[in-house]
Amino acid sequence: MKKKLSLVLAGAMVLSMALTGCGGSGSGTASTTAAEAGGETAAEAEAGTEAAAGGESSESDVDTTGFLVTPKDTDIQTADVQKTSADYELPLNIYDRLVDIKVEDGVSSIEPSLAEEWEISDDGLEYTFHLRQGVKFHNGNDFTAEDVVYTFNRLLTVSGAMNTELLEQVQGAAEVLDGSATEISGIEAVDDYTVKITLVEPFGAFLSCMTAPGASIYDSEATEAAGDQFGLDPAVTVGTGPFKFVEWTLNDRMVLVRNDDYWKEPAGIPGVLIRIVPDTETQTMMFESGELDIIDLDEIPDAVDRLKATYPDQIVEGNRVGVTYMIMNYNVEPLNNIKVRQAIQHAIDRQAILDALYGGMGTVENGIYPHGLIGFNNDLPAIEYDPELAKSLLAEAGYADGFTMELANDTSSGDAVAMTLEIIKEQLAEVGITAEIKNYDESSWLDLRNSGEMCAFTATWTADFNDPDNFIYTFFGNEEKSKIRSLNYPDADKMARVTAARAMINEDERIAEYRALEKEIIQDDAAWVPMYSRVHLFAVSKRVQGFTPFWSGYGDKPFYGITFSE
């Protein structure tokens, strides 16, 4: 009965998404001829065509024939990555960072980019980056240490600054942020191609922070001259990346062209045309008729099954380096009883939820760190779905007849979260726990969660940078961090260890400590219910080769490395 009801609920969710997501008048099913095209001829279909995106056409000197064509459902706000934590597609392609993340066979590592090599002092406080020489910005300016210093100072001082946490550990950053200084004292251009960054205290995740999109490097001269038009006007928005930003027609299209002077080697495609296509049905039909080369299946949930069936060899998977979890508030009885928390862990069939809502596209997780994250521990024992064990644990805790608890739903989070809570409610009922779902608007939900008084909820945390610190410190770094997530985890000694691990210099020892803490907090203390990480799916045309989704599972797509088949 449980799985049957779960599937019915999931079906209702998919129907709801289909009804609300399709604004066009068509049926959403293309003809056999269109489906067989499979996006083979996107460039030819695009040439001279402007109508599908529904925006105003713009005059441009750029001939986009032969370009890769891909849609977005909404326009971006800015290409200035220091002013956004959401719009990363352009920054990933027009800028570079000092270092980048490389993923091979599911294992992540840090590799050189604009910094050819680096040294870390024995005390873990000084990072000396040796910069790549001969690199040019899109406007022809040389890339030097001055640009790195300028970029990081601007990151903390620009109006509307985002991503400032990437530099929180740098000496002098706090003073710049509070206005008592105008420049970061801990960042120094030693010479034209050497930058030294000094931290307040050792921070093992610092290199990982430097791989984040928010740490992209800008041309000091061009960015300063552009003023508030940087990120808005393509003509003045320059980087060192594999593509140049050359056109942006609001709510219609953005155009990138290949940087033929790229310091690695030029991209394998001449350019990229990004179309703004809000209607999901239109996106699907454009792909099937050959007008689009890459589509993000997150944007067209009602068509996922059909596209997977029609184009099985044209579906590209990317791991989402993020974990869905269920919080259980230690300050709410009887969730302060470890046997009750363990019972809830064993009462939830996480695989059934993953199957019902996401077609099984993901992996059940057993800790804090998801697959694809540096420090992920594949040897963690599985938390088995075992309702009989859950009942036994409840009886041992004195709750053989169950109890009542609240599950808080943020109504702005979408159908998937609501349906997850409905299925959890069913599953808890099977072991005698009565879960009552209460709906809150986003503001009220956040206020209640941040107060530390929310009983239980589900949410997802996705990596900002590839390091376990970004996960465990966020939730278990100290009493305040635990409170604002409504965890109220009480073990001060373990939280002190989490904080201390940030300053560990030996990487192997640091990862070993993070793994030990993960097991103790989640498996031994049952501090939350680890749910699953999901897979991000894209459909590509037959001509697209070499597309690799961004390592963290963002919908924002890196285009470097793509080629077209003959």
- Backbone dihedral region of 309: left (phi > 0), alpha (psi from -120 to 50 degrees) or beta? alpha
225-234: list long-range contacts, CB under 8 Å, 24+ apart: 228/159, 230/80, 231/78, 231/79, 231/80, 231/81, 231/83, 232/78, 232/79, 232/80, 234/79
Q: Is the pLDDT of residue 553 over 60?
A: yes
Q: Which of 238-252, 296-310, 544-558 is the least confident region?
A: 296-310
What residue type is assigned to position 373 of the chain? L
For 22, how many CA atoms within 13 A lie in the half-sphere containing its CB? Answer: 18
CATH superfamily assigned to domain 96-225: Dipeptide-binding Protein; Domain 1 (3.90.76.10)
Long-range contacts of 25-33 (CB under 8 A, 24+ apart): 26/281, 26/285, 28/281, 28/284, 28/285, 28/302, 28/303, 29/306, 30/284, 30/285, 30/288, 30/289
More confident residue, 61 or 512: 512
Task: Name the band, by pLDDT with cuts 50, 70 and 90, for residue 106.
Answer: low
Instruction: Look at the alpha carbons of 208, 106, 112, 261 in this order and tell me if their dihedral is positive or negative.
Output: negative
Question: For 50-54, 90-94, 292-296, 394-398, which range has the lowest pLDDT when averaged over its residues?
Answer: 50-54
Residue 43 in this model has a pLDDT that exceeds 60? no
| Mean pLDDT on 71-94 | 93
**Mean pLDDT throughout 542-560?**
94
pLDDT in tens, 120-172: 999 999 999 999 999 999 999 999 999 999 999 999 999 999 899 999 999 99
Indicate the SS3 state at residue 156: helix
Dihedral of the alpha carbons of 21, 24, 26, 31, in degrees to the nearest 10? -80
Q: Which residues contact 530 (CB under 8 A, 6 or more apart)?
A: 323, 325, 350, 365, 366, 367, 368, 383, 522
Exposure pattern of 134-146 as b/e (b: 16+ CB <10 Å)? ebbbbeebebbbe
The torsion region of residue 2 among left (phi > 0), alpha (psi -120 to 50) and beta comes to: alpha
Residue 415 structure tokens? 């159908």
Between residues 236 and 33, which one has the greater pLDDT?
Answer: 236
Average pLDDT over residues 286-300: 94
DSSP 197-221: EEBSS--TTHHHHTTSGGG----HH
Label residue 53 by pLDDT band (50, 70, 90): very low
Indicate the SS3 state at residue 389. Answer: helix
The predicted model gives 534-560 an average pLDDT of 94
- b vs e for 291-329, b when ≥16 Cβ sit within 10 Å of the residue's Cβ? bbbbbbbebbbbbbebbbebbeebbeebbbbbbbbbbbb
Strand 528-540 with 294-296, pairing = antiparallel
Q: What 3-state class would DSSP assign to 195? A: strand
What is the distance between the alpha carbons of residues 433 and 505, in angstroms, rounded to a whole number? 45
Answer yes or no: CATH 3.30.1490.190 is held by domain 322-535. Answer: no
Q: What's the whole-number average pLDDT of the chain? A: 89
Question: Domain 31-91+241-293+541-564 carries which CATH code?
Answer: 3.40.190.10
Report the pLDDT value the prediction gives residue 60, as an integer from 0 to 100.
Answer: 58
| Whether pLDDT at 26 is above 50 | no
Q: State how far the Cα of 96 lies from the Cα of 244, in Å rounded to an integer.
A: 12
What ranges do the domains of the chain cover? Answer: 31-91+241-293+541-564, 96-225, 322-535
Per-residue confidence (pLDDT) for residue 303, from 0 to 100: 87
Q: Is the pLDDT of residue 267 over 50?
A: yes
Instruction: Tell me what pLDDT residue 108 has.
Output: 79
513: helix, coil or strand?
Answer: helix
pLDDT band at 414 (very low <50, low <70, confident <90, very high): confident
Look up residue 314 and give its amino acid.
Q
In tens, the pLDDT along 314-331 reads 999 988 899 999 999 999
For residue 76, the model assigns a pLDDT of 93
pLDDT given for residue 340 in this prediction: 98
Give the helix/strand (H/E) hosting 43: helix 42-46
Q: Identify the pLDDT of residue 554.
A: 85
Amino acid at 6: S
Instruction: For residues 485 and 487, give the distance between their C-alpha atoms in angstroms, rounded to a whole number.
Output: 5
What's the token pair of residue 50? 């402007």
Q: Is residue 248 very low, low, confident or very high in pLDDT (cuts 50, 70, 90)?
A: very high
Task: Give the pLDDT of residue 38.
Answer: 41
Residue 104 pLDDT grade (very low, low, confident, very high; cuts 50, 70, 90): confident
